[in-house]
Structure 1
Amino acid sequence: MKHTLRAALVAIGLAASAHAQAQVDLESFLRKNDFNDIKISPDGQYFATTVPMEDKTGLAILRRSDAKVITSFALGKNNHIYDFHWANKERLLVRVAQKFGMLEEPQATGEILVMDATDKGPQPLVGYRAAGGLKAGSRLGVGSSKSNVAAIDMEMIPGDERNVIITAAPYSEEEMWTRAERLDIYTGKRTPVARPPVRGSSFYIDNKGVVRFARGAEFDNASKLYYRENDQADWKLVNDENSSGRVESPVGFSADNRIAYLQVDQEKGPDAIVAYDTGSGERKELLRDKFADPAAIIFGFGATNEPVGVEYLDGKPHTAFFDPKGKEARLYAMLSAAFPDDSVRVTSTTADGKIALVSTYSDRDPGSFYLFDTQTNKASFLLSRRSWIDPAKMAVVKPVELKARDGVVMRGYLTLPPGKGERGLPLVVYPHGGPFGIYDTWGFDNEPQILAAAGYAVLQLNYRGSGNYGRSFHQSGAQQWGLTMQDDLT
């Protein structure tokens, strides 16, 4: 939908009504970011960053001391680097997605590539490129398993600089069974560590890298969550959606590996974060927002996978922490106070937790990055995604709440053209795609900003069927595409 609107805006030159006569500099809006995401290496010596290009997304590694590009690469047309992780101070794991047809977002291919900070290019570890053979002279060529599988998930093991745990799945659509494997990121060797108790299992590890949970579904599509105490124990069913009426998904373990944290959907309202005592089976609700599901888990700083809090994407993004007085909560509070108009997120830290790479963005700013010294509490500017955008000239995006004809409450966003006031404006209702499970959030959005620059107000509503507002709201859009879902927007 967004590509269609963008093309239409260019084609008609933003032909405006009598109320919307502004000339719009489309080039400023349609120009790609200089970069998308940045993460700092565990020793603080390097930055890795994704770089958008015309029809692909590449990756570059820069030396922190002088910002010199040490190495970079991009794959072929429609191939995008969508995620990456520093496995240790020198080795980077890269995940690939491809754009297919008219789909707006590239789809993950299940590939994992590996490269060193000083290498000239990546080598395939998992996926169809790896199965097809590695480059001559690759260190991955000896002892690597080349069975044709996709890594549908990957988890880093705290303190282990050589191995990660992947959920491996066959590319064949006829096979739905997965398995957990330990992947050696230097040899490419994959070792099975857990077999699935249910079809389509995703696996979840504790802080020692032991697979403790598996979640999947049989042909009835009802979620089942299994638990085991260690890698020698049998799987035990701890939640069946058919009987409990809820879905439970692990998000991590406490430092001592006794408490597992689960995201649990509710009969009404948004999902909650629940502490599950793996010894006693007791469940205790820790966090639950009034409106929104947890959108992202916040982990402790340094080399840890321990969850400490949650980010919510309702209204202006906000956070909540298990311990409001913990160091991560205090740092987020400090950063939010330093950037009161922005949403703040720590994207990565050094292994010792002393340096954090902080992302800021707002409704009028596509985003900037800062280095934050957790010892001195001082931040230094690093880069902006789009240095040519002047936030002072951009439109304000206001969170709004409206009622549908039948009284259902919907939350969304109203973008107002700069300097035009709030009354007597031509209005564009701009629905998100999907329609199920997708949702609009607060932040810088090209198309509403273009329309606002032309003098239009833009309304983006999370109508019934949208994600982010609980299971019941999501399911309320079922079989309502041409009925109440349309009423919500008209």
Structure 2
Amino acid sequence: MSAIRKLLGLLVVACACQAQAAPPPITSFFNNSAFNGAVLSPNGRYLAAFIGANDQRDGLAVVDLSDLSAHMVAQFADTDIGRAHWINNERLLFSTVDKSVAQRDVRYGPGLFVVDRDGKHFRQLAKRNNPFFQNGDGGRELLPWHTFMLDQAGAQDSEEVYVTDADIRGAGILVASDLLRLNTRTGLTHAVEHPGVARGWLLDQHGQPRVVETLEQNIETIHYLDPATAQWRALASFNAYTGGAGGFDPLAFGPDGTLYVTSRAGRDRSALYRYDLVHGKLAEQPMLELEGFDFSGHLIISNDRLLGVRVHGDAEGTVWFDAGMQALQKTVDAMLPGTINLITPPSRSETPWMLVQSYSDKQPRRTLVFNTESKRMSEVGSLAPQIKPAEMGSRELVHYAARDGRDIPAWLTLPPGGKDQHLPMVVLVHGGPFMRGGSWNWNADAQFLATRGYAVLEPEFRGSVGFGDAHFRAGWKQWGLKMQDDVADGTRWAIAQGTADAKRICIAGASYGGYATLMGLINDPELYRCGVNWVGVTDIDLMYDSGWRYASDLPQGWKQYGMPALIGDRVKDAAQLQATSPLRQAARVTQPLLLAYGGADVRVPITHGLKFYDAVKAGNPNVEWIEYPEEGHGWALPKNRIDFWTRVEKFLDKNIGAR
């Protein structure tokens, strides 16, 4: 059993049921959810939930936990409510997102709104870039459309919050992110003075700005606002793209003002440390580290006490320092067996209510509320309510050795029942590529394929983050080379294990995963019978310059400082970039291929797909082209997700035939 589930003491029992004759409908995997999460009020008396019902837009509902009565406090006819924070126990700040349009048709910003928990005193604070909403109440000028909610709740004890004023240019490139203190009753703001070009902020235990991260060319600097002097001072500077000695990531301030950070501190894997603000250095020993993973997580603080840390190793779980919360975790786990159960207490609890999120590899995340006195558990909503866990396949973290001996983690999802051998298999390559690919949870893409009879292998090839610095750096300048070998070695491992039928394997992926799909068909034609590439890179030169007709949201700093070091220098590594370009080797792709691109994509502009399609179809009659003109870098609209995966299912059945 893997690290986080060992830590939680959970036993996840594999389903022994027989595979269903008729798999679950595709809509249950790829429709928008009518429930999109919930947040407790600071005192724990109320719950704000994002709910859509009866074909209406997602609204904001407030549940009174004393009697579990609920009422909608805000809802629009032309957009959905996307995010919300409690300003205090009586008032909510929220923004919107339009789920009915894809990237091409986005016309409005998220706006900024406030409303009391009883639905009264609704007010718009920031524009949605709509000419009909230029002024607020009483003719007051609204904040600009590029005013965004901060990703931190703040003090939650007054009418004031902090919001960001983003400098966004071109095709959505963030240049700077300034901070404003906003009075939600009057709409008046005060700009927070700071050094440099701000890119990120951290509030302290009192909800006040205390840390700002700035970027100057390729140098990131972490500044601290010293309360003793009321002056900013630099704590650390390092290369924003390649890291460096002394680098760390500010995480949070504890109730006593201690700064907690994540850092490698000369080790391979990052851990959670206390930072000494007086002497400007890390504690000698980490406070918390995860076996086999870089630290990722956040502090859990309630009533001015640090109760525990939410962590993300193989799965998301909790390390509790508080004995009472440890006992409560055992109680909740006994009531919800076979799942990981994440307990979140209110920040200033006055009631016995707590929020619980429950999930497994077969169960999509559910949100519940739990009364610690009555032991009453009530479900609030589920992200995919039509999914039945008994009909899902098992998902596990496996490891295999690459040809040079490097350990490669991978996620293996098997069809329901999970005991079949020599299965048709899809090797699903994650995007990024410098990100973590998967986790032990319910994954719509992998489970959809598994319920159709396919094994799904998702390698965390070198270059993936979350598995140590050496694993990450081993992927630098390895597009189409050792990164690609890791994927192929995983495929051969699955064959040798008896999991995969060597004659029925398809490679697939989006973005970088689409690039790896094409390079897999080129480098290892004997392994893969077909390929599915959506929104995939087809030439690294096109990432540097996609042409005047196609906008790109890749920042100039990334192209100037990040890409030459991590992917390849356009001049110095020109020969390598040409040798690892799918576009330049399109004639070598002879297997059946499905290509899908978004017409409004600014991350991987559609010119990548168009050029490759023109090149490959000259010698390959088995190429299918799909274009969603309104979509960007992925499918925002359910109709397109359903259409795409329906086509994928037919394509796979035709070429590697699960049934």
TM more than 0.5: yes
The 5-angstrom pairing of residues 219-230 of structure 1 reads: 219-220=217-218, 222-230=219-227
2: CA distance between counterparts of 1:408 and 1:313?
A: 23
Which one of the candidate residues 73, 76, 93 is aligned to 2:75? 73
The 5-angstrom pairing of residues 37-186 of structure 1 reads: 37-42=37-42, 44=44, 46-51=46-51, 58-64=58-64, 65=67, 67-74=69-76, 76=78, 81-97=81-97, 111-119=111-119, 123-126=123-126, 128-129=128-129, 133=133, 138=137, 142=140, 146=143, 149-151=146-148, 153-158=150-155, 160-172=157-169, 176-186=175-185
Deviations 1:97-153 (A, max 9, x none): 56799889x9x95743322333389643245549984566x37x54x6635643363
Give the secondary structure class of the aligned counterpart of 1:430. strand
2: CA distance between counterparts of 1:318 and 1:69?
A: 32
Mapped contact 2:41–2:86 kept (Cα < 8 A)? yes
The aligned counterpart of 2:655 is none
2: CA distance between counterparts of 1:89 and 1:178?
A: 28
The answer for unaligned runs of 5 or more in structure 1 is 1-19
> Could you tell me which amino acid in structure 2 is paired with residue 169 of structure 1?
A
The 5-angstrom pairing of residues 38-437 of structure 1 reads: 38-42=38-42, 44=44, 46-51=46-51, 58-64=58-64, 65=67, 67-74=69-76, 76=78, 81-97=81-97, 111-119=111-119, 123-126=123-126, 128-129=128-129, 133=133, 138=137, 142=140, 146=143, 149-151=146-148, 153-158=150-155, 160-172=157-169, 176-192=175-191, 194-220=192-218, 222-230=219-227, 233-242=230-239, 244-257=244-257, 259-265=258-264, 267-284=266-283, 285-301=286-302, 308-321=307-320, 324-347=321-344, 349=346, 351-352=348-349, 354-437=352-435
1: CA distance between counterparts of 2:223 and 2:97?
A: 29
TM-aligned CA distance change 1:168 to 1:32, over 3 Å: closer
1: CA distance between counterparts of 2:132 and 2:266?
A: 47
> Could you tell me which amino acid in structure 1 is paired with residue 287 of structure 2?
L
> Could you tell me which amino acid in structure 2 is paired with residue 50 of structure 1?
F
1: CA distance between counterparts of 2:356 and 2:278?
A: 37
Q: Which structure is higher in helix share?
A: 2
Mapped contact 1:429–1:460 kept (Cα < 8 A)? yes
Deviations 1:270-297 (A, max 9, x none): 3211101223434222111122233331
TM-aligned CA distance change 1:73 to 1:413, over 3 Å: same
Shift of 1:250: 1.9
1: CA distance between counterparts of 2:201 and 2:425?
A: 46
Deviations 1:60-97 (A, max 9, x none): 30443354433342474xx6544321222332122345
Mapped contact 1:152–1:168 kept (Cα < 8 A)? no
2: CA distance between counterparts of 1:72 and 1:180?
A: 26
> Could you tell me which amino acid in structure 1 is paired with residue 319 of structure 2?
A
> Could you tell me which amino acid in structure 2 is paired with residue 352 of structure 1?
S
Larger Rg: 2
Deviations 1:191-240 (A, max 9, x none): 12x322222342222222332211122112x3211112228522111111
Mapped contact 1:300–1:328 kept (Cα < 8 A)? no
TM-aligned CA distance change 1:206 to 1:414, over 3 Å: same
Shift of 1:457: 1.2
Mapped contact 1:157–1:163 kept (Cα < 8 A)? no
1: CA distance between counterparts of 2:389 and 2:44?
A: 30
Indicate the larger mover: 57-66 or 274-283. 57-66
Indicate the larger mover: 387-396 or 337-346. 337-346
The aligned counterpart of 2:536 is none
> Could you tell me which amino acid in structure 1 is paired with residue 450 of structure 2?
A
1: CA distance between counterparts of 2:20 and 2:43?
A: 53
1: CA distance between counterparts of 2:131 and 2:256?
A: 38
Mapped contact 1:21–1:454 kept (Cα < 8 A)? no
Normalising by structure 1, we get a TM-score of 0.80
2: CA distance between counterparts of 1:426 and 1:215?
A: 48
1: CA distance between counterparts of 2:459 and 2:420?
A: 18
* RMSD, matched Cα: 3.7
Shift of 1:340: 4.2
TM-aligned CA distance change 1:169 to 1:25, over 3 Å: closer
Give the secondary structure class of the aligned counterpart of 1:399. strand
Give the secondary structure class of the aligned counterpart of 1:263. strand
Give the secondary structure class of the aligned counterpart of 1:119. coil
1: CA distance between counterparts of 2:347 and 2:274?
A: 28
Deviations 1:137-174 (A, max 9, x none): x37x54x6635643363533335231112333334569
2: CA distance between counterparts of 1:350 and 1:474?
A: 36
TM-aligned CA distance change 1:425 to 1:74, over 3 Å: farther
The aligned counterpart of 1:9 is none
Higher RCO (CA < 8 A, seq sep 6+) = 2
Give the secondary structure class of the aligned counterpart of 2:161. strand
1: CA distance between counterparts of 2:110 and 2:28?
A: 34
The aligned counterpart of 1:486 is 484
Q: Is the counterpart of residue 463 in structure 1 residue 443 in structure 2?
A: no
Shift of 1:43: 5.1
Give the secondary structure class of the aligned counterpart of 2:165. strand
> Could you tell me which amino acid in structure 2 is paired with residue 37 of structure 1?
G
1: CA distance between counterparts of 2:102 and 2:244?
A: 38
Mapped contact 1:465–1:474 kept (Cα < 8 A)? yes
Give the secondary structure class of the aligned counterpart of 1:392. helix
Mapped contact 2:310–2:319 kept (Cα < 8 A)? yes
Mapped contact 1:210–1:231 kept (Cα < 8 A)? no
2: CA distance between counterparts of 1:375 and 1:280?
A: 45
Give the secondary structure class of the aligned counterpart of 1:165. strand
Identity among equivalent pairs (%):
26
Mapped contact 1:345–1:360 kept (Cα < 8 A)? yes
Give the secondary structure class of the aligned counterpart of 1:160. coil
2: CA distance between counterparts of 1:477 and 1:246?
A: 22
Q: Which structure is higher in strand share?
A: 1
Deviations 1:341-381 (A, max 9, x none): 21222356374253111110111111222222234555344
2: CA distance between counterparts of 1:135 and 1:56?
A: 27
2: CA distance between counterparts of 1:408 and 1:337?
A: 39
Mapped contact 2:168–2:175 kept (Cα < 8 A)? no
1: CA distance between counterparts of 2:261 and 2:334?
A: 30
Normalising by structure 2, we get a TM-score of 0.61
